[in-house]
Structure 1
Amino acid sequence: MFPEIERLKSLKVQDVMARQVIEVSANQTMAGAARAFAKSDISSAPVIDEQGRCVGMLSAADFIKRDCPQCSEMERHELTKRGQEDDCITIEPTSDMVSSYMSTAIQSVAADESLLQAARAMSAEHIHHLPVLEDERPIGVISTMDILAALINAVEEAEAQLTPRDF
Protein backbone atom coordinates (compact mmCIF):
# COMPACT_ATOMS: atom_id res chain seq x y z
CA MET A 1 0.00 0.00 0.00
CA PHE A 2 2.82 2.40 0.82
CA PRO A 3 5.81 1.95 -1.48
CA GLU A 4 7.68 4.47 0.67
CA ILE A 5 7.66 1.98 3.55
CA GLU A 6 9.13 -0.70 1.29
CA ARG A 7 11.71 1.81 0.08
CA LEU A 8 12.63 2.62 3.68
CA LYS A 9 12.96 -1.08 4.46
CA SER A 10 15.26 -1.52 1.47
CA LEU A 11 17.62 1.32 2.39
CA LYS A 12 21.20 0.36 3.11
CA VAL A 13 23.60 1.97 5.55
CA GLN A 14 25.57 3.39 2.61
CA ASP A 15 22.48 5.31 1.49
CA VAL A 16 22.43 7.53 4.58
CA MET A 17 25.85 7.30 6.28
CA ALA A 18 28.24 10.21 6.58
CA ARG A 19 31.13 9.48 4.24
CA GLN A 20 33.49 12.15 5.50
CA VAL A 21 34.91 10.35 8.52
CA ILE A 22 36.66 12.32 11.23
CA GLU A 23 38.93 9.86 13.01
CA VAL A 24 41.09 10.17 16.10
CA SER A 25 44.21 8.17 16.83
CA ALA A 26 44.43 5.81 19.79
CA ASN A 27 47.82 7.41 20.53
CA GLN A 28 46.45 10.96 20.48
CA THR A 29 45.97 12.93 23.70
CA MET A 30 42.46 13.64 24.88
CA ALA A 31 43.20 17.35 24.35
CA GLY A 32 43.96 16.64 20.70
CA ALA A 33 40.77 14.62 20.36
CA ALA A 34 38.77 17.41 22.01
CA ARG A 35 40.19 19.88 19.47
CA ALA A 36 39.20 17.55 16.61
CA PHE A 37 35.68 17.20 18.05
CA ALA A 38 35.29 20.97 18.41
CA LYS A 39 36.79 21.80 15.00
CA SER A 40 34.57 19.30 13.18
CA ASP A 41 31.49 19.79 15.40
CA ILE A 42 31.18 16.07 16.13
CA SER A 43 30.24 14.14 19.25
CA SER A 44 31.72 10.76 18.34
CA ALA A 45 34.57 9.43 16.22
CA PRO A 46 36.13 6.12 15.27
CA VAL A 47 39.50 5.53 16.91
CA ILE A 48 42.16 4.13 14.62
CA ASP A 49 45.52 2.44 15.19
CA GLU A 50 48.76 3.05 13.29
CA GLN A 51 47.53 0.88 10.39
CA GLY A 52 44.25 2.80 10.06
CA ARG A 53 42.13 0.00 11.55
CA CYS A 54 39.21 0.90 13.77
CA VAL A 55 40.06 -0.15 17.32
CA GLY A 56 37.39 1.75 19.22
CA MET A 57 35.00 4.66 19.40
CA LEU A 58 35.37 7.87 21.35
CA SER A 59 32.31 9.88 22.27
CA ALA A 60 31.82 13.17 24.05
CA ALA A 61 30.70 11.19 27.11
CA ASP A 62 34.11 9.51 27.23
CA PHE A 63 35.68 12.82 28.19
CA ILE A 64 34.30 12.18 31.69
CA LYS A 65 35.98 9.08 33.06
CA ARG A 66 33.23 6.64 34.06
CA ASP A 67 35.24 4.79 36.68
CA CYS A 68 36.11 7.88 38.66
CA PRO A 69 37.53 6.42 41.89
CA GLN A 70 36.15 9.06 44.22
CA CYS A 71 32.55 9.03 42.93
CA SER A 72 29.89 6.34 42.83
CA GLU A 73 27.35 6.33 39.99
CA MET A 74 24.73 7.88 42.30
CA GLU A 75 27.19 10.55 43.48
CA ARG A 76 28.07 11.38 39.86
CA HIS A 77 24.39 11.71 39.00
CA GLU A 78 23.75 13.99 41.98
CA LEU A 79 26.80 16.14 41.23
CA THR A 80 25.67 16.50 37.62
CA LYS A 81 22.17 17.54 38.71
CA ARG A 82 23.72 20.24 40.91
CA GLY A 83 26.04 21.43 38.14
CA GLN A 84 29.11 20.13 39.97
CA GLU A 85 30.07 17.41 37.49
CA ASP A 86 33.62 18.79 37.42
CA ASP A 87 34.12 17.19 40.82
CA CYS A 88 34.08 13.79 39.07
CA ILE A 89 36.36 14.60 36.18
CA THR A 90 39.64 12.76 36.51
CA ILE A 91 40.90 13.31 33.00
CA GLU A 92 44.27 14.91 32.32
CA PRO A 93 43.67 16.13 28.75
CA THR A 94 47.27 16.94 27.89
CA SER A 95 48.72 13.62 29.03
CA ASP A 96 45.90 11.05 28.97
CA MET A 97 45.67 9.11 25.73
CA VAL A 98 42.52 8.36 23.74
CA SER A 99 43.25 4.64 24.15
CA SER A 100 42.55 4.95 27.89
CA TYR A 101 39.08 6.44 27.42
CA MET A 102 37.70 4.99 24.18
CA SER A 103 35.13 2.22 24.04
CA THR A 104 36.79 -0.92 22.73
CA ALA A 105 33.80 -3.26 22.63
CA ILE A 106 32.44 -1.50 19.58
CA GLN A 107 29.54 -2.40 17.37
CA SER A 108 30.07 -1.73 13.69
CA VAL A 109 28.17 -2.19 10.46
CA ALA A 110 29.02 -2.79 6.82
CA ALA A 111 27.93 -0.31 4.15
CA ASP A 112 25.67 -2.90 2.50
CA GLU A 113 23.77 -3.80 5.69
CA SER A 114 20.17 -2.71 5.93
CA LEU A 115 19.33 0.51 7.69
CA LEU A 116 16.89 -1.47 9.83
CA GLN A 117 19.72 -3.76 11.05
CA ALA A 118 21.81 -0.73 11.99
CA ALA A 119 18.87 0.85 13.84
CA ARG A 120 18.24 -2.37 15.75
CA ALA A 121 21.91 -2.64 16.76
CA MET A 122 21.97 0.98 17.92
CA SER A 123 18.76 0.54 19.88
CA ALA A 124 19.88 -2.71 21.52
CA GLU A 125 23.23 -1.23 22.58
CA HIS A 126 21.89 2.25 23.45
CA ILE A 127 24.41 3.95 21.17
CA HIS A 128 24.07 6.89 18.82
CA HIS A 129 26.91 6.31 16.34
CA LEU A 130 28.19 3.25 14.51
CA PRO A 131 31.35 3.12 12.47
CA VAL A 132 30.88 1.72 8.99
CA LEU A 133 33.84 -0.55 8.34
CA GLU A 134 35.41 -2.14 5.30
CA ASP A 135 38.41 -4.39 5.94
CA GLU A 136 38.48 -3.09 9.54
CA ARG A 137 38.89 0.51 8.34
CA PRO A 138 36.25 3.23 8.79
CA ILE A 139 34.62 4.34 5.55
CA GLY A 140 31.71 6.13 7.18
CA VAL A 141 29.69 6.72 10.31
CA ILE A 142 25.96 6.33 10.76
CA SER A 143 24.09 8.14 13.50
CA THR A 144 20.63 8.04 14.99
CA MET A 145 20.07 11.41 13.31
CA ASP A 146 20.84 9.86 9.90
CA ILE A 147 18.27 7.15 10.56
CA LEU A 148 15.72 9.65 11.84
CA ALA A 149 16.18 11.82 8.73
CA ALA A 150 15.55 8.77 6.49
CA LEU A 151 12.40 7.96 8.46
CA ILE A 152 11.12 11.52 8.24
CA ASN A 153 11.78 11.56 4.49
CA ALA A 154 9.85 8.30 4.01
CA VAL A 155 6.88 9.57 6.03
CA GLU A 156 6.80 12.85 4.11
CA GLU A 157 6.95 10.99 0.79
CA ALA A 158 4.10 8.72 1.93
CA GLU A 159 2.01 11.73 2.99
CA ALA A 160 2.59 13.37 -0.40
CA GLN A 161 1.17 10.27 -2.11
CA LEU A 162 -2.05 10.26 -0.07
CA THR A 163 -5.26 11.27 -1.78
CA PRO A 164 -8.56 12.29 -0.17
CA ARG A 165 -9.85 8.81 -1.01
CA ASP A 166 -7.24 7.32 1.37
CA PHE A 167 -9.03 8.92 4.32
Structure 2
Amino acid sequence: MESKLATDTGQVTLLSEICLKVNNAKDKSKKLRVLRENDSQPLRQVLKGAFSPNIEWDLPKGDVPYTPNDAPIGTEHTALMQEARTLFRFVKGGDTTISQNKREIMFIQMLEGLCAEEAEFLVNVVNKKLNKVYKGLTANLVKDAFHWDDNFMQKQPSYPV
Protein backbone atom coordinates (compact mmCIF):
# COMPACT_ATOMS: atom_id res chain seq x y z
CA MET A 1 0.00 0.00 0.00
CA GLU A 2 1.53 3.30 -1.01
CA SER A 3 1.21 6.27 1.32
CA LYS A 4 -0.78 9.17 -0.07
CA LEU A 5 0.10 11.95 2.32
CA ALA A 6 -0.07 14.74 -0.23
CA THR A 7 -2.01 15.64 -3.34
CA ASP A 8 -0.44 16.57 -6.69
CA THR A 9 -0.38 20.20 -5.53
CA GLY A 10 1.60 19.28 -2.41
CA GLN A 11 -1.32 19.83 -0.05
CA VAL A 12 -1.76 17.19 2.62
CA THR A 13 -4.92 15.12 2.18
CA LEU A 14 -7.46 15.64 4.94
CA LEU A 15 -8.94 12.43 6.32
CA SER A 16 -12.16 14.32 6.98
CA GLU A 17 -12.36 15.16 3.25
CA ILE A 18 -11.98 11.49 2.33
CA CYS A 19 -14.84 10.60 4.67
CA LEU A 20 -16.93 13.43 3.24
CA LYS A 21 -16.39 11.92 -0.22
CA VAL A 22 -17.60 8.58 1.16
CA ASN A 23 -20.64 10.38 2.60
CA ASN A 24 -21.39 11.97 -0.79
CA ALA A 25 -20.89 8.80 -2.84
CA LYS A 26 -24.24 7.50 -4.08
CA ASP A 27 -23.89 3.75 -3.50
CA LYS A 28 -21.76 1.17 -1.72
CA SER A 29 -19.51 0.44 -4.70
CA LYS A 30 -18.65 4.14 -5.04
CA LYS A 31 -18.05 4.44 -1.28
CA LEU A 32 -15.72 1.44 -1.42
CA ARG A 33 -13.88 2.98 -4.38
CA VAL A 34 -13.30 6.24 -2.45
CA LEU A 35 -11.80 4.35 0.49
CA ARG A 36 -9.64 2.13 -1.70
CA GLU A 37 -8.39 4.99 -3.89
CA ASN A 38 -7.39 6.93 -0.78
CA ASP A 39 -6.00 3.93 1.09
CA SER A 40 -3.12 4.82 3.41
CA GLN A 41 -1.80 3.68 6.76
CA PRO A 42 -3.09 6.83 8.53
CA LEU A 43 -6.60 6.37 7.06
CA ARG A 44 -6.64 2.73 8.17
CA GLN A 45 -5.41 3.64 11.67
CA VAL A 46 -8.03 6.31 12.17
CA LEU A 47 -10.92 4.25 10.80
CA LYS A 48 -9.86 1.27 12.90
CA GLY A 49 -9.89 3.56 15.94
CA ALA A 50 -13.35 4.79 15.01
CA PHE A 51 -14.98 1.42 14.43
CA SER A 52 -13.06 -1.40 16.13
CA PRO A 53 -14.72 -2.50 19.37
CA ASN A 54 -11.26 -3.67 20.50
CA ILE A 55 -9.87 -0.12 20.57
CA GLU A 56 -10.79 1.88 23.65
CA TRP A 57 -9.78 5.50 23.76
CA ASP A 58 -8.26 6.58 27.08
CA LEU A 59 -9.89 10.01 26.91
CA PRO A 60 -13.11 11.40 28.39
CA LYS A 61 -16.15 10.90 26.15
CA GLY A 62 -18.05 13.84 24.70
CA ASP A 63 -17.04 17.38 23.87
CA VAL A 64 -13.41 18.40 24.28
CA PRO A 65 -12.53 21.82 25.74
CA TYR A 66 -10.21 23.08 23.01
CA THR A 67 -9.93 26.24 20.93
CA PRO A 68 -10.49 25.42 17.25
CA ASN A 69 -7.69 26.51 14.93
CA ASP A 70 -9.03 29.34 12.76
CA ALA A 71 -6.17 29.19 10.25
CA PRO A 72 -7.35 28.52 6.68
CA ILE A 73 -7.18 24.87 5.61
CA GLY A 74 -3.70 24.11 4.34
CA THR A 75 -1.97 26.62 6.61
CA GLU A 76 -2.54 24.84 9.93
CA HIS A 77 0.41 23.44 11.85
CA THR A 78 -0.38 19.75 11.40
CA ALA A 79 -2.70 17.36 9.58
CA LEU A 80 -4.29 14.22 10.96
CA MET A 81 -2.71 12.28 8.09
CA GLN A 82 0.65 13.09 9.71
CA GLU A 83 -0.44 12.89 13.35
CA ALA A 84 -2.13 9.47 13.04
CA ARG A 85 1.12 7.73 14.01
CA THR A 86 0.91 9.31 17.48
CA LEU A 87 -2.70 8.33 18.21
CA PHE A 88 -1.54 5.23 20.13
CA ARG A 89 -0.84 7.58 23.06
CA PHE A 90 -4.56 8.14 23.46
CA VAL A 91 -5.62 4.47 23.38
CA LYS A 92 -5.90 2.35 26.53
CA GLY A 93 -2.64 0.47 26.96
CA GLY A 94 -0.98 2.45 24.16
CA ASP A 95 1.39 4.62 26.18
CA THR A 96 1.53 3.81 29.88
CA THR A 97 4.43 6.20 30.54
CA ILE A 98 2.30 9.37 30.55
CA SER A 99 -0.23 10.47 33.16
CA GLN A 100 -3.90 10.83 32.30
CA ASN A 101 -3.64 14.59 32.73
CA LYS A 102 -0.68 14.78 30.32
CA ARG A 103 -2.56 12.53 27.83
CA GLU A 104 -5.56 14.88 27.83
CA ILE A 105 -3.35 17.97 27.47
CA MET A 106 -1.51 16.37 24.53
CA PHE A 107 -4.83 15.52 22.88
CA ILE A 108 -6.07 19.10 23.24
CA GLN A 109 -2.78 20.38 21.80
CA MET A 110 -3.16 18.01 18.85
CA LEU A 111 -6.72 19.21 18.21
CA GLU A 112 -5.63 22.85 18.36
CA GLY A 113 -2.88 22.19 15.80
CA LEU A 114 -5.31 20.65 13.29
CA CYS A 115 -7.67 22.66 11.11
CA ALA A 116 -11.13 22.95 12.70
CA GLU A 117 -12.64 20.36 10.32
CA GLU A 118 -9.99 17.72 11.10
CA ALA A 119 -10.19 18.42 14.85
CA GLU A 120 -13.97 17.90 14.86
CA PHE A 121 -13.45 14.76 12.78
CA LEU A 122 -10.95 13.38 15.33
CA VAL A 123 -13.31 14.10 18.23
CA ASN A 124 -15.97 12.07 16.37
CA VAL A 125 -13.43 9.26 15.86
CA VAL A 126 -12.62 9.16 19.58
CA ASN A 127 -16.32 9.24 20.48
CA LYS A 128 -16.94 6.50 17.87
CA LYS A 129 -19.56 8.64 16.12
CA LEU A 130 -18.23 8.78 12.55
CA ASN A 131 -21.15 6.74 11.22
CA LYS A 132 -23.56 9.34 12.65
CA VAL A 133 -21.75 12.20 10.89
CA TYR A 134 -20.82 10.54 7.59
CA LYS A 135 -23.73 8.71 5.96
CA GLY A 136 -22.82 5.24 4.82
CA LEU A 137 -19.43 5.19 6.54
CA THR A 138 -19.93 2.08 8.63
CA ALA A 139 -17.82 -0.60 10.25
CA ASN A 140 -18.94 -3.09 7.60
CA LEU A 141 -17.99 -0.75 4.74
CA VAL A 142 -14.54 -0.19 6.25
CA LYS A 143 -14.03 -3.93 6.77
CA ASP A 144 -15.05 -4.60 3.16
CA ALA A 145 -12.81 -1.85 1.78
CA PHE A 146 -9.67 -3.07 3.52
CA HIS A 147 -10.46 -6.81 3.59
CA TRP A 148 -10.58 -6.90 7.38
CA ASP A 149 -12.21 -9.53 9.56
CA ASP A 150 -14.54 -8.77 12.48
CA ASN A 151 -11.51 -7.93 14.64
CA PHE A 152 -10.42 -5.29 12.09
CA MET A 153 -7.40 -7.37 11.14
CA GLN A 154 -6.29 -8.41 7.66
CA LYS A 155 -8.18 -11.55 6.64
CA GLN A 156 -5.96 -14.60 6.38
CA PRO A 157 -6.12 -16.36 3.04
CA SER A 158 -7.83 -19.72 3.20
CA TYR A 159 -5.91 -22.47 1.51
CA PRO A 160 -7.48 -25.72 0.33
CA VAL A 161 -6.82 -28.61 2.67
TM-score band, normalised by the shorter chain? under 0.3
Q: TM-score, normalised by structure 2?
A: 0.27
Q: Which one has the bigger strand percentage?
A: 1
Find the structure with the greater CA-based Rg: 1
> TM (normalized to structure 1)?
0.26
